[in-house]
Amino acid sequence: MTKSLYAIGGGQMVEAIIRASLKNRAIDSETTYVVDISPNRVRHLAETYHVNASSEFHADALDAADLILLGVRPQDDWAGIAKKIGVSGKKKTLISIVAGVTVKQLTEALGDEDYPIVRIIPNTLTDTGFGVSGAALNGAAKRENVDEFLRSFGKVDYIPEKQIDIYTGYAIAGPNYVYNFYLALTNAGVLGGLSRKQANDIALENLQGAAKMLEITGKHPYELLDINNSAGGVGIAAQHELDASDFAAGVQNAVLAAIKRTTELGKEH
């Protein structure tokens, strides 16, 4: 069922969420209200998505909404905003995408131990139907109140809050690792003598096809490699070079660095 939404902070991530949720009819433009302190963002959101957008906090719209989406940056006044939400007394589920801000910090700012809070780390593949957001609920929040909305911009994994940092570094930053692999692979194609277009088209085809193979066969990658790498052949020659390189460790170190940085940022406020 369509939910009415009150979003605070109408930046890149909230726009991506609203675009997908409108397209998938989890919200509609008439009952969506976005507040952003930037007049340019207000104009852009109102013109592009025909939602109600304003630079002013709107208490009546806040009270009328089924869901509240907090989408400002960690360095913005999220605590002041949460305080205003808390005093409204309506206890509409607060979904926070503010990186590093914990359920405990939000509860303190709201000034209400029983306020329903869903802290999410949203995926960034919102226009594709792919991507997994991590969602941590406090004791007062109900999954059935948010599930349809969260699924309108990707898949959802309900996780304990302590996994949010791992989720951020591995799942949410995930497309970045794939973009880097794609770049490395396509440059190899060009280095070998293919045109940029040929290299790009082939890499995209292989990325999607290989992902599909993993999905439909359910086989371990070693099994698929065994099929492809015949004795003394081309595949095993490439495999030897990859095994001798820091390819796997490089990817793993990048993910660990992302998780570490997420944890550090969370401690900064």
Ligand X SMILES: NC(=O)c1ccc[n+]([C@@H]2O[C@H](COP(=O)([O-])OP(=O)(O)OC[C@H]3O[C@@H](n4cnc5c(N)ncnc54)[C@H](OP(=O)(O)O)[C@@H]3O)[C@@H](O)[C@H]2O)c1
Closest approach of Cβ 75 to ligand X, in Å? 9
Nearer to ligand X, 27 or 97 (CB): 97
Closest approach of Cβ 119 to ligand X, in Å? 11
Nearer to ligand X, 56 or 241 (CB): 56
Look up residue 26 and give its two tokens.
């989890």
Q: Dmax of the chain from CA atoms?
A: 72
**DSSP H or E segment with residue 57:** none
CB atoms within 10 A of CB 260: 12
Nearer to ligand X, 9 or 116 (CB): 9
Closest approach of Cβ 97 to ligand X, in Å? 4
CA 158 to chain centre: 13
CB atoms within 10 A of CB 143: 12
Residue nearest to ligand X (CB): 11
Closest approach of Cβ 99 to ligand X, in Å? 3
Cα→Cα distances 12→29, 63, 84, 221, 231, Å? 18, 25, 23, 36, 50
Query: Which residues make up the interface to ligand X (CB under 6 A)?
Result: 8-14, 35-38, 41, 71-74, 76-77, 81, 97-99, 121-122, 124, 172
Nearer to ligand X, 136 or 199 (CB): 136
